[in-house]
């Protein structure tokens, strides 16, 4: 009997997608809630029948600018807005999974005390946010990364705060890396090779004066970087567009970003993709999304519900890939079973992390006879889903992937 092998994606999916929404320029709480309800439920909404996907979002604690923005607190005060109670519900459900910095400081004014207040609030309510995304102009000295103006991990700076983030549990950051490649950790298709070649040309022409790399020519979903304070984090990339001009990534740009040809190509490339978007920017009323966008979103939903494309939150996608890349297992035959024993720990970023069943959701092993296959974590039997043959003609078993329950339906 052949030994089990690890399947790339949870059964039956052939690729994986996450829409990483930046909260910028969301006009109102009403718009935010209706858009996220439309994406995450099957309910009738003012935007139409819900798509019943699994889509997360980012949030801000503060707005230190003169422009209206959706934030947890009013301005930089300690007074909560109406958004705050929804934040707490969506933290619990896992749908508000990205800290898009602590707030909009495009006009400057950030210092460590804002970080302390934010982390205290997250810890107070048991929020398990694992992802950080940088924001805006160079006035946002809170940003984390390798550029000179990014002082969030620079000890001695009044803006230094990464020790707080690391202690809290943030380990995935978006420092600004983008890609035009449709699918990371993908198959080496002609499309992948051609796009990567074009990116190499762009790095020597359009971006020749940019000191830090914009593109990753190994086409990884995330890579380790060492910050100024010595911290090691995963720096992930976001897909921006198909070699088009970078614009605002608003609701109208979203039409091009998720057109059916891109979704089909992602599935064909068997890759992971995290999309860079401001999906509520440009939505001025609840009269409806642009017609083309609705059609593209419905196509995305169809690919998900047909079992071709996993659609989930950025944090779940990143954690799944981290676990998938690092789990250690061994097999043995006992009691007429092929037993797959998973080690209870993974070593990532220099830290030994304990695995739980929740962290293993979606992990799938190809096997010869799924009815005679069992999975154990630290010698404890795991609930498994027995799968029929997929497109490769092989059987498999899966630790079930549980959908998040959207709480604001």
Q: Where are the chain's structural domains?
A: 14-316, 327-398
Between CA 352 and CA 349 the distance in angstroms is: 8
Those residues with Cβ within 8 angstroms of residue 287's Cβ, 6 or more apart along the chain or in another chain: none
C-alpha dist (Å) from residue 303 to 213, 269, 309, 322: 33, 15, 6, 24
Percentage of the chain exceeding pLDDT 90: 86
Percentage of the chain exceeding pLDDT 70: 99
The arithmetic mean of pLDDT across residues 109-113, rounded, is 97
Average the pLDDT over each of 121-135, 239-253, 332-346 and give the range with the smallest value: 239-253
Mean pLDDT (the chain) is 94
The arithmetic mean of pLDDT across residues 143-165, rounded, is 94
Q: Is the pLDDT of residue 360 over 80?
A: yes
Between CA 142 and CA 152 the distance in angstroms is: 4
**What is the predicted pLDDT for the residue at 287?**
77
**What is the predicted pLDDT for the residue at 336?**
84
Q: Is the pLDDT of residue 1 over 80?
A: no
Between CA 268 and CA 260 the distance in angstroms is: 12
Q: Considering just the CA atoms, what is the radius of gyration of the chain in Å?
A: 21
**What is the predicted pLDDT for the residue at 246?**
66
Between CA 241 and CA 345 the distance in angstroms is: 37
Question: HSE-up of 198 (CA within 13 Å, CB side)?
Answer: 11
Over residues 71-96, the pLDDT tens digits come to 999 999 999 999 999 999 999 999 99
Over residues 235-258, the pLDDT tens digits come to 999 999 988 766 788 999 999 999
Consecutive H or E run containing 39: helix 29-40
Helices (H) and strands (E) in the chain, counts: 9, 25
Average the pLDDT over each of 147-151, 180-184, 309-313 and give the range with the smallest value: 147-151
Neighbours of 77 (CB within 10 A): 9
The arithmetic mean of pLDDT across residues 282-289, rounded, is 83
Q: 88 is written with which tokens?
A: 């707490």
**What is the predicted pLDDT for the residue at 245?**
67
**What is the predicted pLDDT for the residue at 141?**
97
**Domain 14-316 listed as CATH 1.10.3470:** no
Between CA 216 and CA 208 the distance in angstroms is: 15
């Amino acid at each position: 009997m052949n030994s089990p092998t690890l399947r790339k994606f949870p059964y039956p999916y052939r690729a994986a997608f996450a829409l990483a929404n930046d909260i910028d320029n969301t006009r109102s709480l009403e718009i935010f809630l209706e858009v996220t309800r439309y994406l995450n439920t099957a309910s009738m909404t003012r935007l139409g029948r819900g798509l019943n996907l699994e889509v997360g979002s980012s949030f801000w604690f503060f707005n230190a600018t003169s422009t209206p923005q959706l934030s947890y607190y009013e301005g930089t005060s300690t007074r909560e807005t109406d958004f705050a109670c929804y934040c707490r519900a969506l933290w619990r459900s896992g749908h508000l999974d990205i800290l898009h910095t602590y707030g909009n400081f495009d006009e400057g004014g950030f210092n460590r005390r804002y970080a302390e207040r934010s982390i205290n609030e997250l810890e107070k309510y048991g929020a398990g946010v694992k992802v950080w995304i940088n924001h805006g102009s160079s006035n946002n000295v809170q940003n984390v990364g390798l550029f000179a103006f990014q002082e969030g991990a620079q000890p001695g700076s009044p803006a230094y705060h990464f020790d707080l983030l690391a202690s809290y549990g943030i380990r995935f950051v978006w420092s600004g890396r983008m890609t035009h490649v449709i699918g990371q950790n993908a198959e080496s298709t002609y499309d992948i090779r051609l796009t990567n070649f074009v990116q190499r040309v762009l790095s020597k022409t359009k971006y020749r004066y940019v000191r830090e790399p914009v593109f990753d020519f190994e086409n990884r979903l995330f890579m380790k970087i060492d910050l100024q304070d010595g911290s090691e984090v995963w720096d992930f990339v976001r897909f921006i567009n198909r070699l088009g001009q970078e614009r605002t990534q608003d609701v109208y740009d979203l039409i091009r970003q998720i057109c059916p040809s891109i979704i089909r190509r992602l599935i064909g490339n068997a890759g992971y993709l995290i999309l860079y978007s401001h999906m509520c920017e440009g939505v001025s009323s609840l009269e409806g999304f642009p017609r083309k966008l609705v059609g593209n979103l419905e196509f995305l939903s169809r690919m998900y519900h047909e079992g071709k494309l996993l659609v989930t939150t950025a944090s779940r996608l990143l954690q799944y890939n981290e676990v998938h890349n690092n789990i250690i297992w061994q097999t043995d035959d006992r009691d007429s079973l092929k037993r797959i024993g998973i080690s209870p720990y993974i070593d990532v970023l220099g830290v030994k992390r304990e695995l739980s069943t929740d962290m293993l959701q979606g992990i799938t092993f190809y096997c010869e006879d799924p009815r005679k296959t069992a999975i154990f974590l630290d010698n404890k039997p795991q609930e498994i889903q027995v799968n029929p043959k997929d497109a490769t003609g092989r059987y498999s078993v899966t630790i079930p992937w549980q959908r998040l329950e959207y709480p604001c339906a």
